[in-house]
């Protein structure tokens, strides 16, 4: 199955970001992708964190969700909508940072609310997602059937989740053989940790891993690392972007995953948890 990791440099205008995402989805579809993964905050990287509150949507309605559903149905593929801000009941000052998954009929089939909220302070560079986000509390996955009839169970994670291996192990316990990581890693943390963490999660869980990132200098002066990549269950980077907008497509192989798990049955050797 061909999968696509889309990389963006999202800006202040939600409408412009949706147009850019639509074009990149089209490009991935033209390359034969059956599964397309957008990056975290694909719909907006505002001038301030609270800008996302202005474009939040209730689950099931709104222009962001409509674009994702329509694009999935138009191209007949699976779309994982990076993240978008979803309303929190009884709290107008915060949102969930949520991944939504649409099947080739344009139907919503899965939702994951980011569990681990990023906080970082180094000199003048600082972030605290808890000021505007409410954390989720449940892992999530979905079942995907390819055009050829092959079945995949796909786990969902978001950016900072990457630093918490227990989440990925819980996804393996749910039976996943692929994990998606829509992200907006900062340039500082990405340069130090992005690839090594991605490869570690793929290796220790023996899964295919698809990481779609923000990558470049944004209108809000934030700088993200990029380097979207697709990694096999042996931890090898099979396809990768640098910085800037684009998509990387790779034909992943379920037989390769099965072979790795047979040759090195590490998951069967677990003693704790």
Q: What is the 3-state secondary structure (H, E, C) of the chain?
A: CEEEEEEECCCCCHHHHHHHHHHHHHHHHHCCCCEEECCCCCCCCCCCHHHHHHHCECCCCCHHHHHHHHHHHHHCCEEECCCEEEEECCEEEEEEEEEEEECCCCCEEEEEECCCCCEEEECCEEEEHHHCECCCCCCCEEEEECCCCCEEEEEECCHHHHHCHHHHHHHHHCCCCEEECCECCEHHHHHHHHHHHHHHHHHHHCCEEEECEEEEECCCCCEEECCCEEECCCCCEEEECCCCCEEEEEECCHHHHHHHHHHCCHHHHCCCC
From 2, 52, 56, 114, the catalytic residue: 114
Q: Is there a catalytic annotation at residue 159?
A: yes
From 14, 43, 141, 159, the catalytic residue: 159
Q: Is there a catalytic annotation at residue 141?
A: no
For the record, the structure tokens of 47 come out as: 């001038």
From 34, 40, 57, 129, the catalytic residue: 40
Q: Is there a catalytic annotation at residue 131?
A: no
> Which of the residues are catalytic?
40, 114, 159
């Amino acid at each position: 199955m061909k999968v696509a990791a889309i990389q963006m440099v999202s800006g202040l205008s939600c409408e412009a970001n949706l147009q850019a995402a639509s074009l990149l989805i089209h490009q991935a579809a033209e390359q034969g992708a059956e599964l397309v993964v957008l990056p975290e905050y694909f719909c907006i990287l505002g001038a301030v964190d609270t800008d996302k509150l202005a474009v939040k949507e209730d689950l099931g309605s709104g222009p962001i969700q409509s674009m994702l559903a329509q694009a999935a149905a138009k191209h007949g593929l699976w779309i994982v909508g990076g993240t978008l801000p979803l309303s929190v009941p009884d709290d107008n000052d915060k949102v969930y940072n949520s991944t939504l998954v649409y099947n080739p009929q344009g139907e919503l089939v899965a939702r994951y609310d980011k569990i681990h909220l990023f906080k970082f302070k180094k000199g003048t560079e600082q972030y605290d997602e808890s000021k505007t986000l409410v954390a989720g509390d449940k892992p999530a996955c979905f079942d995907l059937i390819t055009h050829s009839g092959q079945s995949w169970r796909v786990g969902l994670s978001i950016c900072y989740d990457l630093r918490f291996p227990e989440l990925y192990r819980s996804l393996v316990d749910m039976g996943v053989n692929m994990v998606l990581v829509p992200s907006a890693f900062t340039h500082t943390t990405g340069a130090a940790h992005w690839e090594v963490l991605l490869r570690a999660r793929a290796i220790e869980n023996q899964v295919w891993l698809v990481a779609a990132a923000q990558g470049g200098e944004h209108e809000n002066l934030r700088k993200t690392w990029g380097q979207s990549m697709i990694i096999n269950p042996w931890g090898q980077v099979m396809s990768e972007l640098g910085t800037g907008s684009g998509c990387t497509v790779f034909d992943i192989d379920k037989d390769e995953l099965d072979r790795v798990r047979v040759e090195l049955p590490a998951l069967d050797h677990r003693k704790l948890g």
